[in-house]
């Protein structure tokens, strides 16, 4: 790595280059009843990082949640903002998304413009992310909030071209998102085709609620799988997913 600063992004990228599958857990600060149990499990499993954020937060406990995670975990805590107020200097980094699949200027550049000075002030590592919503056969909260049309689950060309444009625009990650609690995860063909077009790390999330779905996404080319919703129902699923990935690797 030479003199290059070691950042969270460098670590994600390095594991991606080494083809080490990564697992990220998404934590919604609005749903904290299960958090203590989940944190215990995360500390016992090889989860790479946590993402924290939500598109419809009502509890006003974002900073409290970030602090709790930073205090109780040793892995990076990365903000994945669902709204412009979700910034906290205690976090390790922020995954700053632009919803490239949609044509809503607010989510392409609007909220980012509001957030930029606050992120700079908080001195957070910024990981710019090309965010592509793929139809997950559910009217997810991301769809409702962004008011955008997802890319059809078999429209591989649009997804590939959009991801490539994201990379050309300088984005550091591509996130293929079926939406939280999606009925249909991003399919293997979609993951495979997008992965073949871009050289930056590929995150895949939305509806991954079993070891089988996690393995399928990784085998298709996901560098990082993101699991959220399933753990709210049963945090123990995380152990099964991690064990299955370890075995398959
Ligand atoms: C949502 O991709 C993430 O933004 C995770 O999805 O909550 O369905 O696991 P789930």
Mean pLDDT by 10 residues, the chain (249 residues): 76 97 97 95 98 92 97 98 96 98 98 98 98 96 94 98 98 98 97 98 98 98 98 96 92
d(CA 214, CA 226): 9
Q: Whose C-alpha lies nearest to ligand 1, atom 1?
A: 180
Pocket of ligand 1 (CB under 6 A): 26, 177, 180-182, 205-208, 226-230
d(CA 26, CA 23): 10
Atom of ligand 1 lying closest to residue 203 CA: 2
Cα of 139 from ligand 1 centre, angstroms? 13
Q: Look up residue 64 and give its two tokens.
A: 């409290």
The whole model's pTM is what?
A: 0.97
Per-residue pLDDT, 4:
62
* Interacting residues of 234 by C-beta distance below 8 A, sequence separation 6+: none
Integer CA distances (angstroms), 67 to 48, 92, 227, in order: 18, 11, 21
Structural element, H or E, at residue 146: helix 141-146
Cα of 204 from ligand 1 centre, angstroms? 9
Per-residue pLDDT, 1:
42
Cα of 131 from ligand 1 centre, angstroms? 13
Per-residue pLDDT, 248:
86
Per-residue pLDDT, 39:
98
Q: Look up residue 35 and give its two tokens.
A: 């958090």
Per-residue pLDDT, 231:
97
């Amino acid at each position: 790595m030479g003199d290059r600063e070691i950042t969270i992004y460098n670590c994600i990228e390095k594991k991606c280059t080494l083809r080490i599958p990564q697992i990220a857990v998404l934590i919604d600060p609005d749903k904290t009843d299960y958090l203590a149990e989940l944190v215990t499990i995360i500390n016992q499993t090889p989860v790479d990082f946590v993402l924290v954020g939500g598109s419809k937060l009502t509890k006003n406990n974002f900073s409290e949640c970030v602090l709790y995670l930073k205090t109780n975990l040793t892995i990076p805590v990365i903000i994945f903002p669902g709204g412009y107020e979700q910034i906290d200097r205690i976090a390790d980094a922020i995954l700053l998304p632009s919803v490239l699949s949609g044509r809503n200027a607010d989510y392409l550049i609007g909220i980012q413009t509001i957030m930029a000075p606050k992120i700079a002030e908080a001195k957070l590592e910024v990981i710019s992310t090309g965010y592509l919503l793929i139809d997950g056969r559910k009217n997810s909260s991301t769809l409702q909030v962004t008011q955008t049309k997802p890319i059809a689950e078999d429209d591989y060309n649009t997804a590939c071209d959009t991801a490539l444009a994201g990379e050309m625009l300088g984005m550091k990650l591509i996130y293929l998102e079926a939406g939280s609690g999606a009925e249909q995860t991003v399919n293997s063909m979609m993951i495979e085709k997008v992965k073949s077009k871009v050289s930056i790390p590929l995150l895949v999330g939305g509806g991954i609620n079993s070891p089988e779905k996690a393995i399928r996404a990784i085998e298709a080319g996901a560098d990082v799988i993101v699991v959220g919703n399933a753990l709210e129902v049963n945090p123990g699923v995380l152990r099964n997913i991690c064990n299955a990935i370890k075995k398959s690797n």
